[in-house]
Structure 1
Amino acid sequence: MENWLIKRAKLDPNKVALILEHADFTFQELNSCVQLFASKLFTSGIRKNDPIALFSDNCFNGYVAILALQQLGARIIMLDTELSFDSLDYQINDCKPKTILISDSAPTAEIKKVAWNQTMISDILSLNKSSDYHPITEFDNNQVASILYTPNHNDNNDIGVMLTYGNYFFSAMGTSLNLGVNQEDIWILTVPIFNTPGFSIIMRSLIYGIAVYLIDGFNVEQLNKALINERATIISLTPSMLRELLNALPQGQNYNSKFRCVFLGYGLVDNWTLLRCNMLGIPVLQSYGMTETTSNIAALSFNDAENKAGSCGQPFFTEQIRIAEINQDNIGSIEVKSPTIAIGYLNKQQLYRSRFTKDGFFKTGDMGYLDEDNFLYLKGRKEELIYRGNKIIYPKEVENTYRSINGINDICIVGSPNGGDDQVPVAYLELQKNAYLSSATLKEFGRHNLIDYQIPVEFRLIDKMPKTTSGKILHTKLLQLNYKII
């Protein structure tokens, strides 16, 4: 396919492509900025197929750097700006980039400790443009567009997931057919650009020809202000981000008249949050996907949002989803076949091949079921299920039940050994300030809202839930924290 940015600048030169807090850029203006920056990257010595790591927050320069590296045909390795030194050091030594391109506004304390060639974006901007630079004319469907790291459940080392331009194109097609994206849509990008959902929004903007409203970090007041006063129509959020936005929404305020939906990813959302959104007239479309599937592969449509609340929707037109290894609860392993599946794991192709069935379906590691109308319901990660006697506990169900209690900021249910293969559920809690909840009160709540075997045997209070930047709770770190039994 023709270079996406250049193509879009030809088709819609005067259409707004990027919105910042104090400035708008048309596709023509954005393309001019990108080409100038790409020329300077060329001057610095970056060439086609070079692996370049990008360490950037959601800033204008980071956004432009992604598009500029694409103009050169470089392999972009996105680094999480909130990772520890050990994780960054492992990822850098795993991907071996030609250089680490660093945004001047990103937190650099940890990345600066990594012994590797590093280049500040401000240093690139000071270079002269090159007369020998020419952008690549075509994006090959099989060309690696990005490498994004995701946790590896087999060991403590993250995996570099290789996603192609073809992966992103088919992902955009599936999302568009489901959401009915139109030329007037403006997608708020507040999830990190170094994660698959954030990177995908940048790619969708070029494919759809829609504007991105770029917001750095998760500032609830700024986001609610933008959703109320600006012309944003779609926002991608995690369940925890959505809860925080609702808690901070000024009483009596509603989002702007053009706002269409919260596109919700990263797992299950509790019924209380959905009810609050319904009362406030905020459409919520739950979705399902992962890094290896180039973000979403299923999502609710507007027509089904009310009747199928709690579902992740039907598989996109581009996807095949099936349930395998169905257990006693009629829940099974979610498997998918799709053109959005990553082409490999960097330096771990044997592990990548092991994730596929003989007939080519990718084993996601998630559990769920399809109802009679082919709507997908997610029950949680396979390795997080708790086996108590002959019963199976799905932690997300228990967590979502307890989230309706006022005073609980977050909760995570884990299995604790109870002799042999038996486990019992234990709850880790993060409470709001001045909230007082006792173990007796929480167990009594459980007796009225859960089945006896689902009720946690212990409630452990912690200061802060350890999470990835995409909002997923880090279970391995959770078990290492100090806690107080309440």
Structure 2
Amino acid sequence: MRQHGIGAWVAKRRLRSPDKVALVHDEQSTMTYGQFADAADRVSAVLRERGVGRGDAVAHLGANSPDFLAVLFGAAQLGAVFVPVNTRLAPPEIAHVLADCDARVLIHDPDLGAPVASAAPVAGTRHVIVTGEGTAERPGLAPLSRTAPAFTGPVDTSHQDPAAIVYTSGTTGRAKGAVLTHGNLTWVALNCVVDYDVVSTDVALMISPLFHVASLGMGALPVLLKGATMVLEKGFEPGRALAQIERHGVTMLSGVPTTYQLMADHPNWARTDLSTLAKLTCGGSAVPTRILDAYEARGLSFAQGYGMTEAGPGATALPPSMTRVKQGSVGLPHFFTDVRITDASGAPAPRGEVGEIEVAGPNVFAGYHGLPEATAGAFTADGWFRSGDLGHLDADGYLYISGRLKDMIISGGENIYPPELERLIEAIDGVTSAAVIGVPDERWGEVPWAVVTVREGASVDTDSVRAFLDGRVARYKLPKNVVIVDDLPRTASGKVRKTDLRARFGG
């Protein structure tokens, strides 16, 4: 057996630290590494009984839980491909993900039965399993795991084999599946172990959803690789997060600026014992000075970074020691990753000159699932991934982000791509054209606004646009405001000048 993929991790942890607590969940419930490896084996057995083998897609729709991770590793042991599905997606978006990856099995939480019932038949998903006990008519994952034939062991897997497909919204409006190999996920975890100094005695509080690649690749995987302990939260509530830090002696915490701000604003902030916290990482957008001040007053500093789904997702990291010295920077390339800046001709740009950010390394994805042309267009001739973002490197090699070629909006850590919304808004009766931009927001970093032109006499406003979109896209994508204008500013070639719109409306 040559199991070189992440599927080998659980068995190796069972040998090395079987009695060490791996997961804390549902208040005080714990699962050791030995128990977790057994759970992954049982999931492998359930999947194998349903014909899952090498290359088959296994989707999971649910909150942070031991089941989420058991499905990930249970699939990996079979050489299958894990597909985490964002629980905030609307049924048509879920159906697209399931159909695009041709999911053989979907495992979902009980409270998500309604969107699954709508999406799975459309996608043609062959097996749908609910977590927990289920019903007598439709047994859940727990009883199926108890009655499945014994797992006979993992299949051979290499670092080149696909391990996961993580869907990221595309500029065309349809989500694209980024294929991450076993090697990609291994090197992402190793980058975090090196640059964030993850150790086996760490206790990591997981307040961000694992279906996001940052939480999965840079949160859960390094912790499990090192044999540390993870406290799983089904959702984020600032007061509860503070209580969990004190209760479990949390040493590691990852989040986006919004989550950190909400914690600092909570009435329990000043009286919560944060003395065990040693490692804070923040992504999604730069940490505002007011948040830095609040945490530094408690003796805490942030590591910050930059990345994208296609890099699994880490590309750079700014250590806490450089937070103030290099304020505004997203740091140096991760230890096993390279970053360069190129000019409009594709040639390397001099230090200090703004150009496109390109990334290379063993953590960079294999390509977009089923989209060879998009994959080819995402890479340069010499194999660097073209991020579509603009930035520059200073004299010391630290990266600074200047803008986004793709006009992506990051709202509360969620990526929103305007073309998806624009296509739908322009289908509303009375709307003649639409442009979606990101507008700064104190709480969420950015929120989407729609700027539209309408037919004379048409009745279009914020409420009607949001009502039309609700159920078609995730709720975090709904525009917070709709502005009606006479004309959209355009270039000579007819493209909307979004820079003009952002300048006009506060972007």
Q: State whether structure 2 residue 331 is matched by structure 1 residue 313.
A: yes
Q: State whether structure 2 residue 215 is matched by structure 1 residue 198.
A: yes
The correspondence for 2:356, drawn from 325, 333, 339, is: 333
Q: What does residue 205 of structure 2 align with?
A: 188
Q: Does the 8 Å CA contact 2:90/2:474 hold for their aligned counterparts? A: no
Cα deviations across residues 152-175 of structure 1 (Å, max 9, x unaligned)? 01x110001110110011111111
Q: Does the 8 Å CA contact 2:106/2:129 hold for their aligned counterparts? A: yes
Q: What does residue 85 of structure 1 align with?
A: 91
CA apart distance, 1:309:
2.6
CA apart distance, 1:350:
1.0
**Partner SS for 1:351:** helix
Q: State whether structure 2 residue 488 is matched by structure 1 residue 478.
A: no
CA apart distance, 1:138:
4.8
Q: Which residue type is aligned with residue 14 of structure 1?
A: D
Q: Does the 8 Å CA contact 1:172/1:207 hold for their aligned counterparts? A: yes
Q: What does residue 70 of structure 1 align with?
A: 76
Residue 305 and residue 381 in structure 1: after superposition, are their counterparts in 2 closer, same or farther (change >3 A)? same
| Unaligned stretches of 5+ residues in structure 1 | 387-394, 419-428, 430-461
Q: State whether structure 2 residue 237 is matched by structure 1 residue 214.
A: no
Q: Distance in 2 between matches of 1:269 and 1:338?
A: 26
CA apart distance, 1:314:
0.8
CA apart distance, 1:132:
5.7
CA apart distance, 1:130:
4.2
Q: Does the 8 Å CA contact 1:266/1:470 hold for their aligned counterparts? A: no
The correspondence for 2:404, drawn from 381, 385, 390, is: 381
**Partner SS for 2:216:** helix
CA apart distance, 1:271:
2.0
Q: Does the 8 Å CA contact 2:380/2:386 hold for their aligned counterparts? A: yes
Query: 5 Å matches for 1:241-260?
Result: 241-248=259-266, 250-260=268-278
Q: Distance in 2 between matches of 1:219 and 1:44?
A: 37
Q: Distance in 1 between matches of 2:260 and 2:160?
A: 35
Cα deviations across residues 207-258 of structure 1 (Å, max 9, x unaligned)? 2221111110112121111123321111110111221121115252354322
Cα deviations across residues 48-80 of structure 1 (Å, max 9, x unaligned)? 332121112112322322222222222111111
Q: Distance in 2 between matches of 1:9 and 1:141?
A: 21
Q: Distance in 2 between matches of 1:93 and 1:138?
A: 27
Q: What does residue 294 of structure 2 align with?
A: 276
TM-score where L is the length of structure 1: 0.78
The correspondence for 1:119, drawn from 125, 129, 140, is: 129
Cα deviations across residues 430-466 of structure 1 (Å, max 9, x unaligned)? xxxxxxxxxxxxxxxxxxxxxxxxxxxxxxxx99xx9
When structure 1 is superposed on structure 2, of 228-237 and 155-164 the one drifting more is 228-237
Residue 323 and residue 416 in structure 1: after superposition, are their counterparts in 2 closer, same or farther (change >3 A)? farther
| Unaligned stretches of 5+ residues in structure 2 | 134-139, 344-348, 410-436, 454-461, 486-504
Q: What does residue 173 of structure 1 align with?
A: 190
Query: 5 Å matches for 1:11-410?
Result: 11-20=16-25, 21-104=27-110, 106-114=111-119, 115=121, 116=124, 117=126, 118-121=128-131, 122=133, 123-127=140-144, 128-131=146-149, 133-136=151-154, 138-153=156-171, 155-200=172-217, 201-248=219-266, 250-325=268-343, 330-384=353-407, 399=440, 403=442
**Partner SS for 2:72:** helix
Residue 360 and residue 48 in structure 1: after superposition, are their counterparts in 2 closer, same or farther (change >3 A)? closer
Q: Distance in 1 between matches of 2:444 and 2:338?
A: 36
Residue 230 and residue 131 in structure 1: after superposition, are their counterparts in 2 closer, same or farther (change >3 A)? closer
Q: Distance in 1 between matches of 2:91 and 2:318?
A: 39
Q: Does the 8 Å CA contact 2:23/2:30 hold for their aligned counterparts? A: yes
CA apart distance, 1:276:
1.9
TM-score where L is the length of structure 2: 0.75
Q: Which residue type is aligned with residue 23 of structure 2?
A: L
Q: What does residue 459 of structure 2 align with?
A: none
Cα deviations across residues 365-391 of structure 1 (Å, max 9, x unaligned)? 1122211111112233223399xxxxx
Q: Does the 8 Å CA contact 1:54/1:101 hold for their aligned counterparts? A: yes
**Partner SS for 1:280:** coil
Q: Does the 8 Å CA contact 1:192/1:470 hold for their aligned counterparts? A: no
Q: Does the 8 Å CA contact 1:224/1:249 hold for their aligned counterparts? A: no
Cα deviations across residues 382-441 of structure 1 (Å, max 9, x unaligned)? 23399xxxxxxxx99x94xx74xxxx66554879799xxxxxxxxxx9xxxxxxxxxxxx
Q: Distance in 2 between matches of 1:373 and 1:232?
A: 33
Residue 318 and residue 370 in structure 1: after superposition, are their counterparts in 2 closer, same or farther (change >3 A)? same
- The count of corresponding residues between Structure 1 and Structure 2 is 420
Residue 184 and residue 76 in structure 1: after superposition, are their counterparts in 2 closer, same or farther (change >3 A)? same
Q: What does residue 439 of structure 1 align with?
A: none
Residue 292 and residue 109 in structure 1: after superposition, are their counterparts in 2 closer, same or farther (change >3 A)? same
Q: Distance in 1 between matches of 2:130 and 2:246?
A: 36
Q: Which residue type is aligned with residue 83 of structure 1?
A: L
When structure 1 is superposed on structure 2, of 201-210 and 81-90 the one drifting more is 201-210
Q: Distance in 1 between matches of 2:191 and 2:68?
A: 27
CA apart distance, 1:303:
2.7
CA apart distance, 1:480:
7.4
**Partner SS for 2:264:** helix
Give the fraction of aligned pairs with identical amino acids, expressed as a percent: 22
Q: Does the 8 Å CA contact 1:322/1:335 hold for their aligned counterparts? A: yes
CA apart distance, 1:478:
2.7
Residue 18 and residue 479 in structure 1: after superposition, are their counterparts in 2 closer, same or farther (change >3 A)? closer
